[in-house]
């Protein structure tokens, strides 16, 4: 006596195929999600370990701004101009001011509005000094003196504080995002 195979209907095969397909789809989705989460965790760990590498380009912009306006840049040349009356430094001073304006235009978008405003005010102070230096170079009756350097000296601590503060804020923001 042979037993007959159980009746097979096309509907039962379709349901079995659908269930198996659904199980495979869920498994692949879970593998993909686990891979993405691992990728994000690895990236966050890298950010926590070396946030300086992520912020190096932003910090470089602030440092170039500081160098172009500081004692090694515009202020140093202005001091030289006051003491020697050498008109040949005027184009170099213009170039330093232009470099500072270029760096200001390239500030990171996450730079706070208050920092941007203060840096714009510092640049305006240097721009006004440049106009007086140009007038002094072309007309000897309008001297650029050590007294005219006072606003520049007063602007440098603001510049230094904003550059240092923005570097600290950038590190803190990157670490907060990485920890999240």
Range of the domain at 136: 57-179
Average pLDDT of the residues in 146-155: 90
Query: Do 116 and 84 sit in the same domain of this protein?
Result: yes
Query: Would you say residue 5 lies in a domain?
Result: no
Query: Which CATH number characterizes residue 149's domain?
Result: 1.20.1440
Query: Do 137 and 106 sit in the same domain of this protein?
Result: yes
Query: Do 42 and 62 sit in the same domain of this protein?
Result: no
162, 115 Cβ separation under 8 angstroms: yes
What pTM was estimated for this model as a whole?
0.61
Average pLDDT of the residues in 105-124: 85
Query: Do 146 and 172 sit in the same domain of this protein?
Result: yes
Q: For residue 177, what pLDDT is reported?
A: 57
Structure tokens at 56: 């190096």
Q: Diameter of the chain by CA atoms? A: 128
Q: For residue 72, what pLDDT is reported?
A: 87
Query: Would you say residue 133 lies in a domain?
Result: yes
Query: Would you say residue 109 lies in a domain?
Result: yes
Percent pLDDT > 90 in the chain is 18
Per-position b or e across 29-54, b if 16+ CB within 10 A of its CB: eeeeeeeeeeeeeeeeeebeeebeeb
Structural domain count, the chain: 2
Average pLDDT of the residues in 137-161: 87
Query: Do 21 and 72 sit in the same domain of this protein?
Result: no
pLDDT digits (tens, 9 = 90+) for 31-85: 888 888 888 877 766 655 555 554 556 678 888 888 888 888 899 999 988 888 8
């Amino acid at each position: 006596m042979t037993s007959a195979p159980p009746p097979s209907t096309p509907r039962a095969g379709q349901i079995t195929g659908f269930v198996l397909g659904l199980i495979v789809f869920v498994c692949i989705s879970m593998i993909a999600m686990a891979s993405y989460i691992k990728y994000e965790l690895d990236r966050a760990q890298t950010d926590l370990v070396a946030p300086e590498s992520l912020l190096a380009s932003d910090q470089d912009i602030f440092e170039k701004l500081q160098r172009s306006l500081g004692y090694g840049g515009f202020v140093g040349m202005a001091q030289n101009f006051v003491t020697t009356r050498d008109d040949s430094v005027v184009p170099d001073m213009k170039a330093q001011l232009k470099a500072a304006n270029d760096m200001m235009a390239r500030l990171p978008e996450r730079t706070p509005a208050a920092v941007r405003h203060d840096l714009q005010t510092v640049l305006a102070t240097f721009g006004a000094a440049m106009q007086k230096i140009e007038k002094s170079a072309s007309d000897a009756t309008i001297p650029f003196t050590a007294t005219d350097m006072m606003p520049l000296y007063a602007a440098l601590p603001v510049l230094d504080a904003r550059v240092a503060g923005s570097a600290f804020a950038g590190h803190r923001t990157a670490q907060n995002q990485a920890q999240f």
